[in-house]
Chain A
Amino acid sequence: AQTVTQSQPEMSVQEAETVTLSCTYDTSESDYYLFWYKQPPSRQMILVIRQEAYKQQNATENRFSVNFQKAAKSFSLKISDSQLGDAAMYFCAYTGRIGANSKLTFGKGITLSVRP
């Protein structure tokens, strides 16, 4: 079975600074997808960024980028120029290619606070 581990329950960052959220995973599959989801206090789940395992290039979406280390099974999220609106819970998630559209495995999440 696949597992996703987020070992840091909380992190804090100063506004305009950069923060990195860590995630490791375990799988025996060679082809899969990894994601970071944001959950603000409204509870809505928002897809921030995704990475396809067969792509070596790290994904980037505006101020959000990932460091994907396939051999180490590591998938960290870097948030640059942090903004107050980035304060939320962030979940790392995994899905294999089979059943990719219906089954996500989530980490426990990390609560990010942004100091003004």
Chain B
Amino acid sequence: NAGVTQTPKFQVLKTGQSMTLQCAQDMNHEYMSWYRQDPGMGLRLIHYSVGAGITDQGEVPNGYNVSRSTTEDFPLRLLSAAPSQTSVYFCASSPSGRGFNEQFFGPGTRLTVL
């Protein structure tokens, strides 16, 4: 199993450009999430999904869109990048089921918006 994969690892954008951060998992996990990590802020939840076709907003959803057409993929779209979106982005997945199941994190994407 490759686990949770994210592409690209690094990206530089200009203000106003759009792009999609890719996230895929091969563990057949129902739940997937996107977080952003900023210095001194920890990780903050952007969007999450509890299954294909179901998404919901997290703590900081503005400026980001998501969709979940398959169990495996959960892309994060920036429609018009802003310097405030410069961050490290993490995708995570976990199985469903009662109680807690560990979230598995991808390696992260470092995004810089100029």
Given contacts A106-B44, A108-B41, contact A44 B107 (CB under 8 A): yes
- Bound-state Cα–Cα, A88 to B48, Å: 27
Nearest chain B residue, comparing its CB with the CB of A4: B42
Binds B, one of A11-19, A67-75, A94-102: A94-102
Decide: B105 and A102 in contact? CB cutoff 8 A. Answer: no
Question: Count the A-B residue pairs with Cβ separation under 8 angstroms: how many?
Answer: 68
Query: Which residues of chain B are near A45, meaning CB under 8 Å?
Result: 43, 90, 92, 105
Query: Which residues of chain A are near B40, meaning CB under 8 Å?
Result: 9, 108
With an 8 A cutoff between CB atoms, is A59 at the interface? no
Complex interface residues of chain A between 81 and 116 (CB less than 8 A to chain B)? 91, 93, 95, 97, 99-109
Which residue of A33, A52, A102 contacts B33 across the interface (Cβ within 8 Å)? A102
Interface majority SS (helix, strand, loop, mixed), chain A: loop
Decide: A50 and B88 in contact? CB cutoff 8 A. Answer: no
Decide: B45 and A50 in contact? CB cutoff 8 A. Answer: no
Decide: B49 and A101 in contact? CB cutoff 8 A. Answer: no
With an 8 A cutoff between CB atoms, is B99 at the interface? yes
Nearest chain A residue, comparing its CB with the CB of B48: A102
The interface centre, meaning the residue of B35, B43, B94 with most chain A CB atoms within 10 A of its CB, is: B43
A4 to chain B, nearest CB (A): 8
27 CB contacts below 8 A, A to B, read A6-B42, A9-B40, A33-B100, A42-B107, A45-B43, A45-B92, A45-B105, A47-B102, A47-B103, A52-B100, A91-B43, A95-B100, A99-B48, A99-B50, A100-B99, A100-B100, A101-B100, A102-B32, A102-B33, A102-B94, A102-B103, A103-B33, A103-B45, A105-B45, A105-B59, A106-B42, A108-B41
The 7 closest A-B pairs by CB, nearest first: A106-B42, A45-B105, A102-B31, A101-B94, A106-B43, A102-B48, A108-B42
